[in-house]
């Protein structure tokens, strides 16, 4: 029986690279996969996943009305795995579609995303993936400042930490640092990066 996996990590933990690596492993054995990503993250264009290392790959964009279950149910080709990047931006309905893909279509689903936002609140997609996934795994990375395990995302603007605002602001290293709990509450911007 297929399962729903949720692999989460702080910013810059290699989630998108992991999506591409898993896809490559299946495809190297001539096993078709389907990759989806949220339309919200348009840093590298809608319908693409990309990593900070420069790797880039096309993916089906997920909009508010996308029904991934129906799309996969209509597939003629055998799909061996479904991969989701930026899963934190999914709605509860999208997550329930993923459960149906695993349960009714018997296709493993691996979702990758952030757990918490820069205010340390769960994203909607993350919340429901944590509730419904059979397998939950952390992708680890280190704190921008000290090398401890990063568990939070610090938003910065003009070199200053930001703790309030809109939940979603698309950005990379110019806007977010992966940080440990201590440096989330006590950031010393000068310690970690040359500005």
Active site residues: 86
Instruction: Provide the token pair at 168.
Output: 């979603």
- H or E, element range at 179: strand 176-179
Q: Give the separation between CA 47 and CA 38, rounded to whole angstroms.
A: 8
Name the E strands within 23-151.
Answer: 33-38, 48-50, 56-58, 60-62, 81-85, 109-113, 135-138
What 3-state class would DSSP assign to 7? strand
Q: What is the DSSP letter of 51?
A: -
Report residue 39 CA to chain centroid gap.
Answer: 12
């Amino acid at each position: 029986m297929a399962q729903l996996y949720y692999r989460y990590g702080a910013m810059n933990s290699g989630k998108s690279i992991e999506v591409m690596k898993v896809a490559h492993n299946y495809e190297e054995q001539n096993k078709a996969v389907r990759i989806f990503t949220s339309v919200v993250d348009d840093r590298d264009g809608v319908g693409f996943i990309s990593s900070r290392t420069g790797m880039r790959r096309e993916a089906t964009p997920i909009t508010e009305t996308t029904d991934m279950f129906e799309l996969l149910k209509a597939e003629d080709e055998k799909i061996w795995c479904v991969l989701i990047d930026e899963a934190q931006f999914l709605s509860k309905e999208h997550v329930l579609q993923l459960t149906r893909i695993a349960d009714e279509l018997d296709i493993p689903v691996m979702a990758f995303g952030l757990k918490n936002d820069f205010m340390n609140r769960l994203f909607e997609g993350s919340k429901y993936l944590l509730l419904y996934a059979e397998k939950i795994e952390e992708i680890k990375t280190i704190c921008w400042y000290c090398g401890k395990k990063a568990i939070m995302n610090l938003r910065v603007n003009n070199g200053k930490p930001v703790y309030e605002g809109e939940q979603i602001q698309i950005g990379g290293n110019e806007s977010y640092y992966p940080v440990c709990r201590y440096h989330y509450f006590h950031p010393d911007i000068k310690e970690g990066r040359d500005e």
